[in-house]
A and B are shown apart, each in its own frame.
Chain A
Amino acid sequence: MIEVQKVSKVFDRYEAVQEAQISIQKGSIYGLIGSNGAGKTTLIKLVAGIYQPDLGRITIDGQDNFENTKVKKKMFYIPDHPYFLTHYTTLQMAQFYRSIYPNWSQERYETLVASFKVNVKKKIHTFSKGWQRQIAFILALSTRPEVLILDEPLDGLDAVVRKKVKNLLIQDVSEREMTILISSHNLRELEDICDHIGIIHRGKILIEKELDELKSDIHKVQVAYKGEVPEHVIKRLSVLHTEKRGSVFLCIVKGKEEEISELILNTNPVIFDLLPLTLEEIFIYEMGDNGYAIENIMVE
């Protein structure tokens, strides 16, 4: 379990992360979404124990992560641009990590290398960006980390490999209860693997949600009446947003599906539709004013 408690990080010229607060359950895949410069990478490096927070605390299973080898042995971090020791081959990198991470699994490494068909004796920097990223994944998963920290990991991978990598991640999560912190500037990219989403904007965490809960809790309602709109009923609903299109009201409503249906059907509407929202829409409405500000990062 990762706890980021009111963490701030100031660089010389600006405050990159402000009082960020997230918590990641063991075995969950946590997606951190934000536009470029929002503070994703900084927050990720803080969790990875590379940066030291100026304020606040980051604990992993109750222990501070910074300069704590005991914690870091169970973690692996893949940066946004995979980086390897200069002129190292995959094999040399593997030996290097094997000497450092006690959970290294040679068997896993060999299986992965075989399945990705990597030439382990070739210097890594001669591979293409996409291949380098795959090698980074192979090495990371071979250390059998309890916590895997990935900064924009799917960038530059083609659809097939992307699928393969996602499957591998999900497999480790389900088999070993691995926890993943994964960042992206694109919500859609993570929609299918994350169970939790946090949105970071200008250094602040705007919202943190469990996806299943979100999807079942928020609805788009289209309703039309012949005469007066029964305001008192509408007021009893938790409405995030209303719009009038002709005689049709369009509302975004929070709450359980059955309760909303029951309430509205009792007012005898002419038209009544209850629709699910896309993830993007949910976030935009949830965040109110901020939602519009960051709309572009969702629908890229």
Chain B
Amino acid sequence: MPLKTSWLNKELILQIIRSTSWISILYFFGLLFALPIRMLMMYTAEEESIAQYNPVNSLFHYEFVIQLGLTIIIPVLLSVFLFRYLQVKQSADLMHSLPIRREKLFHHYVLSGIILLILPIIFVAFIIMGVHAAFNLSSFFHLKDIGYWVGTTIVLDLLIFSAGVFVAMITGISAVQGVLTYILLLFPAGMTVLIFYNLQMLLFGFPTDFYLHRNLETLSPLTYATLLDGRPLQKIDVILYLFFTFLFYVFSILLYKKRKVESASEAIAFTKLRSIFKYGVTFCTMLVGGMYFAEVQNESFDWMIFGYIVGSIIGYYIANMLLEKSWRVFHKLKGLVIYGVVIAFVYIGIQGFGFYENNVPEQSEIKKVYLTDSPRMNLDPKLYGYTFTPDALQEKSNIELVRKLHQQIINDKKINAQLPENEFMRTAFFLYELENGKIVTRQYRVDDRIYEQLFKPIYESTEYKMASNEIFHIDADEVEYLNIIGNGPGKWTVPFRIEKDLKEIIELLRADILVESYEDQNYYSGRGSNIEIFLGKDHYVYLDFKPTYKGLEKWLKDRELLNQTTIVPEDISSIKIIEWDSKEMTHPDLIEEKIENSTEVLEIKDIKQIKEVLTNAGWGRTHHYIAIFHFKEGNYSERLYLDEEHAPEFVKAFFK
């Protein structure tokens, strides 16, 4: 007698709904409050208060934290409760004694889960559409925004859910399933950070930031989700996430077929995976330990090694305890010893006998080189907004100078590695493009003062100035406006919009920058007025208006704008100067105190002397004297510094 066998078993689905639909309902209400109800709260108020709302970038704008929390928690919760039947011995026995093959069980559970996950999103989407139509919310968002929201939420939910299902197959404990799912989801991003960070500690010059800033967030759906209110999901990531969802699905079935029912209540269901788990945990905690101690102890190498050892031991025993489900695992030393030996060899391998650390490409190999103080180059403007990337240096002489600097930094490895962080430390990032197409990148933290003589010729070269100052890369035609922003009492922001003015100002600034010395670049940066150039949509260029920019100064003076935009001697009633030979930054309160208590204070009221001090004072890091400027207008004073070189003779004479 042929039996009517339908692929779908209604009772099985009913059972799944009975046991897990509460999660779906929870999800529905969460979304309902976060979106449609929130919208009603915002847009049904008085006309005036509605006016304050702008159109939203996406529907993630509404109660994003709640939406994010739901996306991160609900799919994992659902996967845990769906596959509870695998992790509880008695129900595992019951379900597997039934005449239903595992594939069928699996598909029933996973597909029902997917439906339970998607339905609340769809329902809420319909409600939003209703709200949108009823209250005419087109000025805030459009129907296609609802589509984007539905699609993005579903893609992320499905990936997180399928990861949860995959982990359900691997483990036999529901709690472990939850924790491992999050670890798995964070794994690509977390592991990348951990490995790169540790390489930075182990390899002098390893350009961690250069690698890490590149779309690190997209490596994990969890970190990606946290950015959803700001930036749109990219097509390539959608494809990638759907592909991984599919992959998790397929691997889950394969694993399920191989899984032993008796592995319910085991931390790791597959014997062969247990060593991977054990040493994987050991490795991760080792890296975390190293990172933690290195970070807390100011990048100390010895403490990092200590962190490695402590991290490995903790991780190894925790993993063992989980696997054995017992505290008594401390007699197991052999595995730890073997692990230690292997890691020691890996460490030697990484060090590679100094090959990596000592490598500076030969002059003849180099096509061009970038030298910047930030490894954040060539960022995707869609994701990060506009960021300026300097040009490379191609002149032989400059390449040679960069190589010389690089080689010197390597020669000083011991000194550089031990220097504590201070205000003179800067990042030196090298990116060589070689003739054979290869790229060599290095990143160092170096003390400016040590390498001043090596930086100077590079920074003063015309090629470098043109390559790395954005002012040389902009076109006056594209400038929407340029502001010279005055700083101090009675100063204004003067805007320029006429193309002729813009062209002239830009030309003058370029000329002034080209003759600026390296010392002046540093000495005068950060004081006085600013120049802001707006090129449309998040694209600004900022410059200091330094007293050495004589061309621009004259141009403004000719138009009688100088007094409005910069501090001139006539603004100042007096200047008090004291000697303050401190190498480090000083707290302003200490300075005030010093002036009040000091007997040796030089007070200037002569306009000529005021002018001399004003043009020579900087916000420099190396200072010998502190000058407090008292303004005529208002009860206002400003503090600037003088170094030995810039100090006028009468100042030096006074303190002699």
List the one stretch of A75-83, A183-191, A198-206, A285-293 in contact with chain B. Answer: A75-83
B49 interface residue per 8 A CB criterion:
no
**Least Cβ distance of A87 to chain B in Å?**
7
User: Is A100 within 8 A of B9, CB to CB?
Assistant: yes
User: Is A100 within 8 A of B99, CB to CB?
Assistant: yes
User: Is B11 within 8 A of A99, CB to CB?
Assistant: yes
Which residues of B from 78 to 133 have beta carbons under 8 Å from A?
Answer: 90-94, 96-102
**Least Cβ distance of A44 to chain B in Å?**
10
A86 interface residue per 8 A CB criterion:
yes
**Least Cβ distance of B8 to chain A in Å?**
10
B10 interface residue per 8 A CB criterion:
yes
User: Is A67 within 8 A of B101, CB to CB?
Assistant: yes
**Least Cβ distance of A150 to chain B in Å?**
12
User: Is B97 within 8 A of A51, CB to CB?
Assistant: no
**Least Cβ distance of A13 to chain B in Å?**
9
User: Is B18 within 8 A of A52, CB to CB?
Assistant: no
A219 interface residue per 8 A CB criterion:
no
User: Is A79 within 8 A of B94, CB to CB?
Assistant: yes
In the complex, what distance in Å separates the CA atom of A99 from the CA atom of B10?
8
User: Is B91 within 8 A of A83, CB to CB?
Assistant: yes
B599 interface residue per 8 A CB criterion:
no
Cβ-closest chain B residue relative to A87: B18
Selected from A12, A50, A69, the residue in CB contact (under 8 A) with B261 is A50
* A69-B99 in contact given A11-B262, A83-B90 (Cβ < 8 Å): yes
Cβ-closest chain B residue relative to A103: B3
B15 interface residue per 8 A CB criterion:
yes
B19 interface residue per 8 A CB criterion:
yes
| A residues in contact with B100, CB < 8 Å | 69, 100
Which residues of B from 248 to 298 have beta carbons under 8 Å from A?
Answer: 260-262, 266, 271
Cβ-closest chain B residue relative to A66: B96
In the complex, what distance in Å separates the CA atom of A100 from the CA atom of B96?
12
**Least Cβ distance of B27 to chain A in Å?**
21
| A residues in contact with B91, CB < 8 Å | 83, 85-86
Selected from A72, A81, A95, the residue in CB contact (under 8 A) with B99 is A72
User: Is B260 within 8 A of A52, CB to CB?
Assistant: yes
Chain A contacts to B: CB under 8 angstroms: 11-12, 45, 48-52, 67, 69-73, 75-77, 79, 81, 83-88, 95-96, 98-102
25 contacts between A and B (CB under 8 A): A11-B262, A49-B96, A50-B92, A52-B260, A69-B100, A72-B98, A75-B97, A75-B99, A76-B97, A77-B93, A77-B97, A79-B90, A79-B93, A79-B94, A81-B90, A83-B90, A85-B15, A85-B91, A87-B18, A96-B11, A98-B11, A99-B9, A99-B10, A99-B12, A100-B11
Q: A12-B266, A79-B94, A96-B15 known; 6 other A-B pairs, CB under 8 Å?
A: A50-B97, A72-B99, A77-B93, A83-B91, A83-B93, A98-B11
Q: Which 10 residue pairs across A and B have the least CB separation, nearest first? A: A72-B99, A99-B11, A83-B90, A73-B99, A69-B99, A77-B97, A96-B11, A102-B3, A50-B96, A48-B97
